[in-house]
Amino acid sequence: MELVENYWEHMLKHIKSLFRYIQLPPQAKREYKKDSKTELKSDPGASRVVSEAIDWLGRAQDLSASADGGVARDYSLVKGWAVSYPETTGYIIPTIIDYANLSGKSEVLQRAEKMLDWLASIQLEGGGFQGGKIDASPVVPVTFNTGQILIGLAAGVAQFGRYQEATKRAAQWLVDSQDDDGCWRKNPTPFAAVGEKAYETHVSWGLFEADRVMPGQGFGEAGIKQVKWALTKQRDNGWIADCCLINPTKPLTHTLGYALRGIIEAYRWSNDDSLLQAAIRTADGLKSALGNDGYLAGRLDQQWQAGVDYVCLTGAVQIAHCWLDLYLMTGNESYREAGFLANEYVRKTIDVNGQDAIRGAVKGSYPVSGGYGKYEYLNWAAKFCIDSNMCEMQIRKNNDMAANI
């Protein structure tokens, strides 16, 4: 009887999947078929991917459905271009600034100013920023989104000598809303499951950046307090509890990547070796889940075992960047090789010759039908891909220079 029930359950699932596929528009079906092939594309290389992804972010800004200077949340193969997303526009800004300064392209730098001007114009009365896309409801200040935008505002202060007021208001709002133990509980996003979120170490990163441009106001200390609270959620093997939007037992690599980067930035700000050791524990756990081909499952359980059969490409490049940072901090070459491997895997999923809407863009999942950002190319996936590949390019350049000495 159990076998019969399992058979019909499997058939029903297959029928539902087939029905959903039939309803897809032609371009979504084409991408689904491409991703169904057993082999990935050839590697276009870090430089090409960075250049194409920067251009795609420019198109995402120009073609945002809200046409406001922010960056469209995504391009969907089903729905087209989305409206702007304040949260991710915030941390896209330092990526744009870094690329512009390295390339000398002033027109790219102007894009960052346009993003900053828009964000400053939508800051809420108390200093916080809303959650969700610009057309989301309800419009309420949210801790996580404010922290991500703060990263961009602080970069604006450092680059342009402007945006000090918006930066200070956002940072102070975070400090004032923090609980005594370091956790933020008062202003959660209405678009995720209820509960504490360890990945808000990435909010603390915003406070570290604010402290760098406005020192002496306690912003960095507040960030450290939160990171130390979050580390009470870390297990001996490096896995972190309460570290997901919706499923804390099998967190996304995206939110694990957020958490790890925040811990690394806490070490960078404080030089506290205990924070470096905490980052190493999580980085080593994640490294144990990396396949020989660079495959990293999009969700991982507390034993670092795969929880899904797709790659969250955003999380893969976030974690790759963390490994590369740790290589630079420790000299441990296994982190460098892991970072290079994960970057290469993601590059092989990127179309660098296709139509404007997807050329240089990074999917939410591979395959595109996976559970994260299904049939979408996400602006933050492109951002983190650029960051990690620019870091790889610099490491390779430095290693080549050292070899020639």
pLDDT at 4 over 90: no
Mean pLDDT of 257-270: 98
pLDDT digits 0-9 by tens, 323-338: 999 999 999 999 999 9
Phi, then psi, of 181 in degrees rounded to 5: -85, 0
More confident residue, 21 or 202: 202
**SS3 for 352?**
coil
CA–CA separation, 185 and 25 (whole Å): 41
Render pLDDT for 147-181 as a digit per residue (tens, 0 to 9): 999 999 999 999 999 999 999 999 999 999 999 99
How does the average pLDDT of the chain come out, rounded? Answer: 95
DSSP 204-253: HHHHHHHHHHSTTSSHHHHHHHHHHHHGGGB-TTS-BSS-SSS-TTS-BH
Instruction: Give the pLDDT score at 400.
Output: 85
3-class state of residue 114 by DSSP? helix
- Answer yes or no: is pLDDT of 308 > 60: yes
pLDDT of the residue at 399: 87
How many CB atoms within 10 Å of residue 11? Answer: 10
CA–CA separation, 113 vs 115, rounded Å?
5
Residue 195: phi, psi to the nearest 5?
Answer: 135, 170
Q: What is the pLDDT of residue 56?
A: 98
Predicted local distance difference test score (pLDDT) of residue 202: 98
The two beta strands, 74-76 and 365-366, are unpaired
Q: pTM for this structure?
A: 0.94
**pLDDT interval class at 20 (50, 70, 90):** confident
Residue 233 contacts residue 243 (beta carbons within 8 Å): yes
DSSP for residue 40? P
Helices (H) and strands (E) in the chain, counts: 14, 5
Work out the angle between the directed axes of helices 313-330 and 333-347 (0-180°, nearest 10).
150
Query: CATH number of the domain at 27-394, out of 2.40.50.140, 3.40.980.10, 3.40.1080.10, 1.50.10.10?
Result: 1.50.10.10
Please check the confidence at residue 6 and state whether its pLDDT lies above 90: no
pLDDT of 381: 98
Question: pLDDT (tens digit, 9 = 90+) per residue, 94-133?
Answer: 999 999 999 999 999 999 999 999 999 999 999 999 999 9
CA separation for the pair 125, 288 (Å, rounded): 45
Q: Where are the domains of the chain?
A: 27-394
Q: What is the pLDDT of residues 358-388, one digit of tens each?
A: 999 999 999 999 999 999 999 999 999 999 9
What residues are paired with 81 via a beta bridge?
Answer: 75
CB of 123 within 8 A of CB of 105? no
Closest listed residue to residue 139, CA positions, set 151, 156, 122: 122
